[in-house]
Structure 1
């Protein structure tokens, strides 16, 4: 009789445990909207500030995260304004700034705006063997709802030196492909996807705008602004659009909506 009781309890435990395992919920996909925009040091094509227009676009499209390039902070040409601070105050987003160079009594570089808490920021100097303008990769660890995290990065690669640009792309790939957190990289890469200097990205990373016809740099009719996610990640592109903003900057803003599981 005791042996039967043991057998019954073992079978009951197996059934309950097995049922719980079988009913384990699948990870809930997270939807994330991101924007990248080279804002031409806060100046539109008429020589006026474009900061209010950038904020209008953010409020209209409501991206979770924004990658910005060509940001001034305290520079004479932009009225010695802290542009990231202004964008943060007007949009209600958290902000992070990364200096690439000292410029006109202030600084010039990259920015990130986030509708979610920024937990940490990393800034990595990129290779510059041809001694042109220094370049930077800046990443922010973002806390999303439901205790999820994403690593959101912005960069602006060399437009003058193919050697520099190729090495910069390779270093970005090397530093981000084994990240503990899901990674989205946005920015101005100053080359088309067919350019051999971006091989390190096109080989290991998915280009959200691949096979789309829209130019992001109207002056040349080329697409040189990107969002990348690693090919082994769970990111899926739900929507990709290049906004038509012919006078806001010399670049067009790019907005991508992703879903991912983590």
Structure 2
């Protein structure tokens, strides 16, 4: 190839990457398209709809499939409990959705276990159960926490939990979650049924470390019909907020498989 042809080829290649700003300066014109991460949090009420004890896990699976989330946090999950057919609900949902999973027991229940779970399309590792503090009497609570490998050097600590019904316990649990968020020294999201809204003292405490998935307001998710409370949320520590930009957060109205609406949160990174 002649010398002037090689030079022309180089100039053509350069023109696809740079343009002039009118003053002779080169400015980049190509932008790397950001990826999306979709996160869902869903209190599944052990697979039974509001006001019913008739369990239908396939309805829960269909609700999840409809939005095809990358990461799912589940609360009120039965494992080998008679009322739900002695099924490992976390494992079954993972199989129906083709995802990896981890379950964390909060309490023993009817000869089985009851707690929270995470599901992931991406490889997960470092699976651990973290028990939350209970300074006053109440139902034990735990966090299912995993490390998620999103590929291309991007990773995330992702957890599911369900805070207690009374304020003293929720406050102690919020403080414990803050400690986890600070100790992580990496992006962390905790998706949960917080049993509280963001203007309460306990979730204001959490906002010292985490920001919540409220875009133009927090989506109301409970009760399932005519919801008035925004208690199903995703919390991101600072490193997570710096890495993952919050794009939208919506409660999926019309989803009546549980007594809560699922909340879908979309990030870019």
Instruction: Tell me which interval the TM-score lies in, with the shorter structure as reference length.
Output: 0.7 to 0.9
Cα distance, 1:28 vs. partner? 7.5
- What SS class does the counterpart of residue 208 from structure 2 fall into? helix
* Cα deviation 1:200-246 (Å, max 9, x = unaligned): 21232211125426311126611111111124531211121110145
C-alpha RMSD of the superposition:
2.2
Whether 1:223 aligns to 2:233 is no
Q: Distance in 2 between matches of 1:218 and 1:117?
A: 33
Structure 1 CA distance for aligned equivalents of residues 42 and 228 of structure 2: 16
1:195 to 197, 200, 209: 200
User: Which residue of the partner structure matches residue 155 of structure 2?
Assistant: 149
Residue in structure 2 matched with residue 237 of structure 1 by the alignment: 246
Match of 1:253 in 2: 262
The separation in 2 between residues aligned to 1:245 and 1:72, in whole angstroms, is: 24
Cα distance in structure 2, aligned partners of 1:209 and 1:241:
9
- Per-residue CA deviations over 1:81-134 (Å, capped at 9, x if unaligned) read 111111011111111100000000100000111001111212111110112100
Matched, 1:126 2:132: yes
* 1:177 counterpart SS class: helix
Per the TM alignment, residue 49 of structure 1 is displaced from its structure 2 partner at its CA by: 2.1
Give 4+ residue runs of structure 1 displaced > 3 Å after superposition.
25-30
Q: Deviations over 1:121-177 (max 9, x none)?
A: 121111101121001122110111223211111110001x21010010110011122
Q: Is the aligned partner of 1:176 residue 2:181?
A: yes
Other-structure match for 1:15: none
TM-score (norm 1): 0.84
Normalization by structure 2: what TM-score? 0.82
**C-alpha contact (below 8 Å) 2:104/2:117 kept by paired residues:** yes
CA offset at residue 252 of structure 1? 0.8
Q: Which residue of 2 aligns with 1:19?
A: none
CA distance in 1, matches of 2:132, 2:32: 36
Aligned to 1:80: 86
Preserved CA contact (<8 Å) 2:81 2:87: yes
Instruction: Flag structure 1 segments of 5+ consecutive residues without an equivalent.
Output: 1-22
Unaligned 5+ segments in structure 2 are 1-27
Aligned residues: 237
